[in-house]
Amino acid sequence: MNPCPTCVNGTRLVASLNNVSFVMPQTALLQAHYFNLKGVYRTDFPDSPSKHFNYTGLATLKGTRLSKIAFNSTVELVLQDTNLLTVESHPFHLHGYNFFVVGTGVGNFNASKDPANYNLVDPIERNTVGVPTGGWVAIRFRADNPSVWFMHCHLELHTGWGLKMAFVVEDGPEKHQSLLPPPKDLPKC
């Protein structure tokens, strides 16, 4: 819950990734990225939460903060459910990529112990994965598709609360590894 002076009980329900509740901008992220428009978003999305569990006891930051990723890098994400209010899994979806589910577990992810149990031989490939209540899921993908890509919970209410984020995958060194320009017949808003 975040403070909200105009709300009935003085608080508003929010959701966050790494303590950041995503705010949709007025200008499309892809348009801002392609045309290098300033002030639409920041590329300082934190690689890990600023404060660790109990995440639900914190006021979240609000903003349009994206994670900038170098072309062709390997990305590993650990999606940790910390919901203590209700029993509800989160179906997380990543646009623009399939990913490999390399690990799952119950409780809090332990970076010193849990990776030893990853399945790196034949992990399942998905673009959506359920993160269980009170558990975690580790995923990996290769960032070889330059653009701006959303990752979000597929529950509409949670997405509206800010349970989403976006990646800016940079262009690669070759022309065919770069973001294509918008089509000439792209409708104007």
In a domain, 182, yes or no: no
Number of domains in the chain: 1
Q: What is the mean pLDDT of the chain?
A: 88
In a domain, 186, yes or no: no
In a domain, 55, yes or no: no
In a domain, 91, yes or no: yes
Q: Is the peptide bond before 54 cis (omega within 30 degrees of 0)?
A: yes
In a domain, 42, yes or no: no
In a domain, 95, yes or no: yes
Q: What is the residue range of 110's domain?
A: 18-33+65-173
Q: What is the pTM of this model?
A: 0.87
In a domain, 137, yes or no: yes
**Which domain CATH number covers 161?**
2.60.40.420
In a domain, 164, yes or no: yes
pLDDT at 75: 97
**pLDDT 10s digits, 40-71:** 999 999 998 776 655 555 667 889 999 999 99
Token code pair at residue 50: 């600023």
pLDDT at 141: 98
Residue 2: which pLDDT band, with cuts at 50, 70 and 90? low
- Count Cβ atoms below 10 Å from residue 21 Cβ, excluding itself: 21
Residue environment code for 134-164, b if the CB has 16+ CB neighbours within 10 A, otherwise e: ebbbbbbbebebbbbbbbbbebeebbebbbb
**pLDDT 10s digits, 93-135:** 999 999 999 999 998 899 999 999 999 999 999 999 999 888 9
